Amino acid sequence: MKMIMRWFPFGDDSVTLGQIRQTPGVSGVATCLPKVPVGQVWPMETLKALKEEIHEAGLEMEVIESVNIHEDIKKGLSSRDKYIDAYIKTLEHLSMVGVKCLCYNFMPVMDWARSDLASPSEDGSYVMAYRHDEVLQMNPEKMAKAMEGKARGYSLPGWEPERLSAMARDIEFYQSMTREQYWDNMKYFLDAVVPYAEKYDIKMAIHPDDPPWPLYGLPKVITNAENIRTFLDLNTSAYNGLTLCTGSLGSDLSNDLPAMMREFGNRKRIHFAHIRNVRHISEKDFDEAAHLSSCGDLDMFSIVEALYESGFEGYIRPDHGRMIWGEQARPGYGLYDRAIGANYLLGLWEAIDKTHKNKK
């Protein structure tokens, strides 16, 4: 297991590599090239420069999060092949700089949704919050622009500026698409890309839908254990796997996260784990919370123990953090609370590891 943190390069992050390097137990970063338009090949020279900067800081760059998928691929349009070819070329470039795992998603139109990026908590911290009725009442295009503004000058992953004006049209397009058609489009992408992932030794790790339920009539498919089984059966290669995000899947109270960790971990299909906590206000309303089990509704000990017992050897990162101690940073990606979360998770892992070894 390797503990990593997400980092946004080239001046788009308030957190520095030096600060991440000083966080005990963190070996590397998951990073990206957010300025490259979706559908274009990631430039080799830019990747080399990025790797050099990260390695000079004493960290690894084995995980990319993420190479976003062009909407034409998700829609199944005739133009998708040229974008798939560009995706494959990007995989080749990533392999040449030592990348071993690629976190991506297949969420239509928007990567994730929140009603508030800086909701005040009782302890004085600020968290990202989701209120279902508020989100449903928002015009999707206006919501995108509002979230862009609330990011305090930082770009938000998956919310590409060039897509904002087209969101309403894209949402309308999907109203006539069945779930079966969406699964077919996903399989088409996997069957084209996974053989090259095998060739280049890069584990493909899909991220769940966030939130994991229907929104604006869009197809949501990576939402629960049954759907994940369907997804893994679309392409049975070991390189077709998961980023198992406890915050996304844990937003649905019916999801049994320890059971999912065991099932898909035992199948060796979890390549990356995003671990964070959520506190439910109601069935479909929640606040993101500190990682500690008592701060939210998810049992972090049971989740990490299940992952450990499955023989997990991939990458873990503390997912979204709160804004604490007056920090001003990209929503969800400040330093302080994520560093606390990383060491909490490392402490759980060490305790579970020593307990199991002492039983032998």
The pLDDT of residue 154: 53
**With bands split at pLDDT 50, 70 and 90, how would you rate the model's confidence at 171?**
confident
In Å, what is the CA distance from 295 to each residue of 138, 221, 342? 29, 29, 15
Residues in the chain: 360
Candidates 225, 210, 325; CA nearest to 276 is 210
User: Is residue 356 among the annotated active site residues?
Assistant: no
Q: What is the CATH number of the domain that holds 239?
A: 3.20.20.150
Average pLDDT, the chain: 92
CA 302 from centroid of its chain's CA atoms: 21
pLDDT > 70? residue 163: no
The pLDDT of residue 13: 87
User: Is residue 132 among the annotated active site residues?
Assistant: no
What's the whole-model pTM score?
0.93
Candidates 287, 244, 213; CA nearest to 105 is 244
Query: Which stretch of DSSP H or E encloses residue 261?
Result: helix 257-266
**Tens of pLDDT, residues 212-256:** 998 889 999 999 999 999 999 999 999 999 999 999 999 999 999
User: Is residue 207 among the annotated active site residues?
Assistant: yes
The pLDDT of residue 139: 66
The pLDDT of residue 278: 97
| Number of domains, the chain | 1
Q: Which of 70, 93, 274, 280 is catalytic?
A: 274
Q: Which of 70, 132, 207, 291 is catalytic?
A: 207
Q: pLDDT exceeding 90 applies to what percent of the chain?
A: 81
Q: Which of 70, 271, 291, 320 is catalytic?
A: 320
pLDDT > 90? residue 97: yes
Supply 47's token pair. Answer: 């990747």
The whole-number average pLDDT for the span 15-40 is: 95
Q: Which residue has the higher pLDDT, 293 or 138?
A: 293
Lowest average pLDDT, out of 6-10, 108-112, 307-311, 338-342, goes to 108-112
The whole-number average pLDDT for the span 7-27 is: 93
* Rounded-to-integer distance, Cα 331 and Cα 7, Å: 13
Q: Which of 308, 333, 336, 344 is catalytic?
A: 333
Q: Which of 32, 319, 336, 344 is catalytic?
A: 319
* Rounded-to-integer distance, Cα 8 and Cα 3, Å: 17
Query: Is residue 218 within 8 Å of 261, Cβ to Cβ?
Result: no
**Tens of pLDDT, residues 100-157:** 999 999 999 888 888 888 999 999 999 999 999 988 887 666 666 666 655 555 555 5
Q: Which of 245, 280, 308, 336 is catalytic?
A: 245
User: Is residue 154 among the annotated active site residues?
Assistant: no
Lowest average pLDDT, out of 142-146, 198-202, 316-320, goes to 142-146
User: Is residue 274 among the annotated active site residues?
Assistant: yes
Per the structure, the complete domain to which residue 162 belongs is given by 2-359
The pLDDT of residue 144: 63
